[in-house]
Amino acid sequence: MVASEATPFCKTGGLADVLGALPPALAAMGDDVAVVLPRYRGVKLAGARLVLEGLPLWIGPGRYTAGIYEVVRDGVSYFLVECPTFFDRDGIYGYSGGEHWDNHSRFAALCHAAIGVARKLFRPDIFHCHDWQAGLLPVYLKHFLHSDHTFQKTRTVFTIHNMGYQGRYGRDQLFWLGLPDTMFRPDLLEFHGEINLLKGGILFSDAITTVSPTYAKEIQTVEHGFGLDGLLRARGASLTGILNGVDYKTWSPETDPHIAAPFTSENLQGKRECKLDLLRYAGLPTDRPEVPLIGIVSRMAAQKGFDLIAAIAADLVHWDIRMTVLGSGESVYEDVFRGLAAACPEKFSISNNYDDALAHKIEAGADMFLMPSRYEPCGLNQMYSLRYGTVPIVHATGGLDDTIDANTGFKFSPYSPEAMLGAMRDALNMYWKEPQRWKALMVEGMGRDHSWGSSAAAYRRLYKSIAG
């Protein structure tokens, strides 16, 4: 597998969770799996072995060299690409000033390094590439290596985790990626006057997947295709949706080291302690612990639906609730919650940072988890919430629609402030007025099995169906 993030090495979102859990799930089923990812600044090399030195990487006219470190974790080799020119800097994709200007070259380096790893260290039957950062690998394979006998039988799977991020660059950058200008055609890499690396992955892979069945259908529509819906319809026969799973070793209230007290669906006493602990941690009053606590953990991005919260902010301040939010990203969305916290500090609290321990505390301590995403390819937090008896309130889209139903949570549609308000009111009414039904909802969610087993089995069936 080739990707830009994997827990526990580096993470900005759910992609990392997938790369930290799917490969071990496949390994447990008997497959040989390796993951190639960048060694960004700060990625610890404790326990790593330098397995390859001086791997040459030709990125257009430039020649670079990389070292490859191997960490074996749960039966999977994680190969970390050390190439300081590209990866020894602040931020995985960028920092406060914005995206790194040369991300296309950085991830071209990752793809070249993965091909080098495949030649010298780990010969795969399948390259499984994730998101646009790995989209050049199928392009290089078809373009440069189609007659290289090492890769004659190698097949490619390309998984789309989010259509909203495509890796688009100017035409002149083709040269810097080592690709000929003849690839600048609408039926190749050209897209609205630019090159598009996600399109490259979709076009040149043997199979395409995305991370939920509903999102697989949605991305073939104008509304959710981000301009690539036509291509996805054309490749529809090779496109499937496979739902992500949950790594219950990391996300379970019985064993979670980050939370105040363990709990189970049979004994929910610990959840009350977790709620008090979270209220204290968030600086919210603990005198009326029965008041419903709504949690949010999210990247602050347009995708995540916070414009709906902005639209109902004037109502929210009058409700008898508490809300704690963890998330960072675009300041316009952070400001929505900063505004609420400034207006009613006794009801709303916000942490604008990245804090893994707090993410666990919120999953465990909140009563409800709000995820109003405009679109959501899969979404992991709603599945984590289920496990912790924290009832999800979600917009019925993508993976949220596939994982939440009336027995486990509240769904709204259409995407509107009124519909979200309605679902929140329904949830609060049941919480206050029908405690037995509420508890049944919690317990049902806690018992749902979203472990990786069946998803990993679906990927294996796909790998077998295309194997050379």
298 in contact with ligand ADP (CB under 6 A): yes
Piece of the chain touching ligand GLC by CB under 6 A; list 14-22, 250-258, 356-364, 389-397: 14-22
372 in contact with ligand ADP (CB under 6 A): no
Which residue among 106, 112, 155, 161 contacts ligand GLC (CB under 6 A)? Answer: 161
Q: Scan residues 4-63 and list those touching ligand ADP (CB under 6 A).
A: 13-15, 17
User: With contact defined as beta carbons under 8 Å apart, do 402 and 243 qualify?
Assistant: yes
Smallest gap, in angstroms, from Cβ of residue 378 to ligand GLC? Answer: 4
91 in contact with ligand ADP (CB under 6 A): no
H or E segment and range at residue 212: none
User: With contact defined as beta carbons under 8 Å apart, do 275 and 367 qualify?
Assistant: yes
Smallest gap, in angstroms, from Cβ of residue 243 to ligand GLC? Answer: 9
Q: Tell me, what amino acid is at 311?
A: A
Residue 241 contact partner, candidates ligand GLC, ligand ADP, none, CB within 5 to 8 A by sort of partner: none
Smaller CB distance to ligand GLC: residue 19 or 391? 19
H or E segment and range at residue 366: none
Which positions ≥6 away from 54 have C-beta within 8 Å? 65, 67
Concatenating the DSSP letter of every residue in 257-321 gives TTSSS---SS--HHHHHHHHHHHHHTT---S-TTS-EEEEE--BSGGG-HHHHHHHHHHHTTSS-
Piece of the chain touching ligand GLC by CB under 6 A; list 11-19, 305-313, 316-324, 414-422: 11-19
Which 8-state DSSP code applies to residue 348? Answer: E
Pairing mode of beta strands 76-82, 62-73: antiparallel
SS3 state of residue 1: coil
Backbone phi, then psi, for 32, in 5-degree steps?
-90, 120
Q: Tell me, what amino acid is at 143?
A: H
The token pair at 87 is 């990866």
Smaller CB distance to ligand GLC: residue 112 or 304? 304
381 in contact with ligand ADP (CB under 6 A): yes
State the Rg of the chain over Cα: 23
Smaller CB distance to ligand ADP: residue 83 or 400? 400
15 in contact with ligand GLC (CB under 6 A): yes
- CA distance between the termini of the chain: 17
Which residue among 196, 244, 390, 397 contacts ligand GLC (CB under 6 A)? Answer: 244
Smaller CB distance to ligand GLC: residue 19 or 59? 19
Piece of the chain touching ligand ADP by CB under 6 A; list 62-70, 180-188, 214-222, 293-301: 293-301
User: With contact defined as beta carbons under 8 Å apart, do 247 and 19 qualify?
Assistant: no
Which residue among 85, 238, 252, 328 contacts ligand ADP (CB under 6 A)? Answer: 328
Smallest gap, in angstroms, from Cβ of residue 381 to ligand GLC? Answer: 8
Which residue among 2, 297, 364, 393 contacts ligand ADP (CB under 6 A)? Answer: 297
Smaller CB distance to ligand GLC: residue 174 or 208? 208
The token pair at 354 is 């990245």
Interface residues toward ligand GLC, by CB under 6 A: 13-15, 18, 161-162, 211, 244, 376-380, 399
Site residues, ligand ADP (CB under 6 A): 13-15, 17, 297-299, 326-328, 354-356, 359, 378-381
